[in-house]
Amino acid sequence: MIAFEKFLEPIELANMPLSEIHRAYRMDGNSPQPDMRKDAGLGTCACCDYFVTNNDSVFLIEETQLLKSIKRWKREVQYLNDNDQKNFVDEKVKTENCLKVYGSLLVLARLMNKFPEIRNLVGEKKYCFWLVVSGLSTPEDRRYIDNLKDSQLDA
């Protein structure tokens, strides 16, 4: 049986610790941290960094340095014109984060199927996706977040 509490981590939102009704569980661990994906039998499946629960919602949280990723992707396709670069990066941002959301849902579904206490924890709740970005600085950077938000609503 999985000891689900081993994934519990103290995190802060807006420099304030989460209250007892909000519990943060790490989904993708780096050694020596526990790895929820492996305990679910899904190995290296892409998933969000954490999920947080409260009384009626489950929040999937992905921490990212989006601007560094965007700059790296633009360097990879610098031979393209500006519009094609923009389209490539937009699609890359959407695809990468959609995969993490779907992977997270797969991990939770697998664990809910195996363990009733997890089903009770996350079962019939509303799911939300939070992208926590470091380094947001320009209107162009914000466009990626708005674009992702619109895309997630359609997914």
Residues spanned by the domain of 120: 4-154
Q: How many Cα atoms within 13 Å fall on the side-chain side of residue 78?
A: 4
Lowest average pLDDT, out of 16-30, 80-94, 110-124, 137-151, goes to 137-151
C-alpha 29/C-alpha 22 separation (Å) is: 20
User: Which residue in 72, 150, 58, 74 sits closest to 109, CA to CA?
Assistant: 58
Q: Model's pTM, two decimal places?
A: 0.74
**Overall number of domains in the chain:** 1
C-alpha 60/C-alpha 79 separation (Å) is: 35
User: Which residue in 86, 63, 104 sits closest to 144, CA to CA?
Assistant: 86
C-alpha 154/C-alpha 141 separation (Å) is: 21
Decide: residue 55, CB within 10 A, 0-12 exposed, 13-18 middle, 19+ buried. exposed
pLDDT in tens, 86-123: 899 888 888 988 899 999 999 988 988 887 888 888 87
Beta bridge partners of 133: 64
pLDDT in tens, 36-93: 888 888 888 888 888 888 788 888 888 887 778 888 888 899 998 989 988 998 888 8
